[in-house]
Structure 1
Amino acid sequence: MSHFRIRPATPQDCPEILRLIKEGAAYEHKPNAVTLTEEDLLQDGFGEHPFYYCLVAEVENEEQIERSYTVGYAMYYFTYDPRIGKLLYLEDFYIMEPYQGLGIGSEILKILSQTTLQTNCSCMQFLVVIWNKPSVEYYMRCGASDLSTEEGWHLFRFNKETLLRMAAE
């Protein structure tokens, strides 16, 4: 069994985070969806007012004893819901397939749960792609509520082109 550790990301982790983001997008059958760059990650997550926070999961690199290998990450931020107040929003969560089932994801969720409670947030929210049945079932077993069925929400997005058009009207 691999030994792993979970830690807050540092600016030096941006290349590995981007690699994992691209792997996650490929897993979701959207390999060309990632337009983000390492510079974007660096600027947006490690400035005076970060837009996101990130945890990385590392395992010991068997080839190099002194080095570790990044095998997963969780990207999150804090937001506000006018009905329930502060919440932690888990934006992205990915563990490389060979390292799934080792407890890495559970440990990340534990740390995120602790962070949610320590910051007095009312809940943690996240999306799961509808066809990812194993993840949906896992979160349901852990006690997550499926708001798409319980509260009947639809997720909408205005893309940049639409925003430009609406801003000009």
Structure 2
Amino acid sequence: NLLNQTFAPTAPNQVWVADLTYVATQEGWLYLAGIKDVYTCEIVGYAMGERMTKELTGKALFMALRSQRPPAGLIHHSDRGSQYCAYDYRVIQEQSGLKSSMSRKGNCYDNAPMESFWGTLKNESLSHYRFNNRDEAISVIREYIEIFYNRQRRHSRLGNISPAAFREKYHQMAA
């Protein structure tokens, strides 16, 4: 556990947190793997599917790596779920220069920023729906993350601007 509940990066792409959650549909569970940049609060990678597998978490990680191109040394923090402990997942982290960090067993507070996002997603969006199938849930989740949460939702910690605006502001000031 490299973070020890100290979530205080000073720039984007220094610390990512990752986790899985699930959403009920009439068709069965939809599993959602997500990766959040702790500095910007932006969801930088996510994937959805019928099964909670290492492939699902791998897709979310590939999305984050493609979109962010993080520097070597980024801390990738997750719980100790089998998907994050899987050899294939660890190889991707190592080849990408990421430092793996994992929560203590059974301690949700060690991954608080990601757990907080799940609560926000479920409270602000998913609790208002009863999904007939996974495709309906996928559509709502994708719109919430890409349109609302990352680009429009204001965060008091970010000076009441969206994660995307905060990231852009950071890069403008760093230039």
TM-score normalised per structure 1: 0.28
Greater percentage in strand: 1
- Structure with larger Rg: 1
Greater percentage in helix: 2
Specify which structure has the bigger relative contact order, considering alpha-carbon pairs within 8 angstroms and separated by 6 or more residues: 2
